[in-house]
Amino acid sequence: MQLSKSMLKALNEQVTHEFYAAHLYLSMSAHFESSNLPGFARWMQLQSKEENGHAMKIYKYIHERNDRVTLDAIDKPPTEFKKPLDVMKQALEHEKKVSGLINNLYEMAVKEKDYPTQVMLQWFITEQVEEEKTASDIIELLKQVGDAPAGLIMLDRQLGARAGE
Ligand code: FEO
């Protein structure tokens, strides 16, 4: 079974959305680098890498279905950010938006009775729950820290310990 034209278009768009997320988080990482928060910077850089992985998962899937990806332009991400709490809130909002996009894709796959795409998307649905939870947890920690510099330094160390390269 071939991907429908509308499904191919929507999956292609999702590849671009995931690359945009990678761009956004890398921009946040650059902000943290220049804010003397290397742990936050590392965490965001790894997050950006994960988003690249998400884009490539869909990229590979489209080709597995014997179709082809058409890459599109990636929007310029914001480059100016506020406090860590605001940045993490912005990241959470973005994840919620992505969850909505994934849910829309799934709905489309259900309507079209495209079972392989449903199975592929299930991984993303689970991933989105995790991504939203992780961002929310960091927001909670940041709220507890408030304006205490010592707390922020500790949290920076904690985030910097995130596994990955
Ligand atoms: Fe690719 Fe963070 O969702």
Which residues, given as ranges, of the chain have pLDDT below 70?
Answer: none
**Structure-token match 């919620």, residue found:** 96
**Both tokens assigned to 3:** 């991907």
Instruction: Give the pLDDT of residue 147.
Output: 86
111-139 pLDDT, tens per residue?
999 999 999 999 999 999 999 999 999 99
Ligand 1 neighbours by CB, cut-off 6 Å: 18, 21, 51, 54, 95, 98, 131
CA distance 162 to 164: 7
> Of ligand 1's atoms, which has the minimum distance to the CA of residue 127?
3
**Both tokens assigned to 142:** 């940041």
Instruction: Give the pLDDT of residue 135.
Output: 97
Instruction: Give the pLDDT of residue 44.
Output: 98
Structure letter (DSSP) for residue 73? P
Among the listed residues 35, 1, 14, the one whose alpha carbon sits nearest the alpha carbon of residue 128 = 14
CA distance 79 to 70: 27
**Ligand 1 center–CA 102 separation, angstroms:** 10
Domains of the chain: which residue ranges?
A: 5-160
**Both tokens assigned to 104:** 């829309």
Range 5-160: architecture per CATH: Up-down Bundle (1.20)
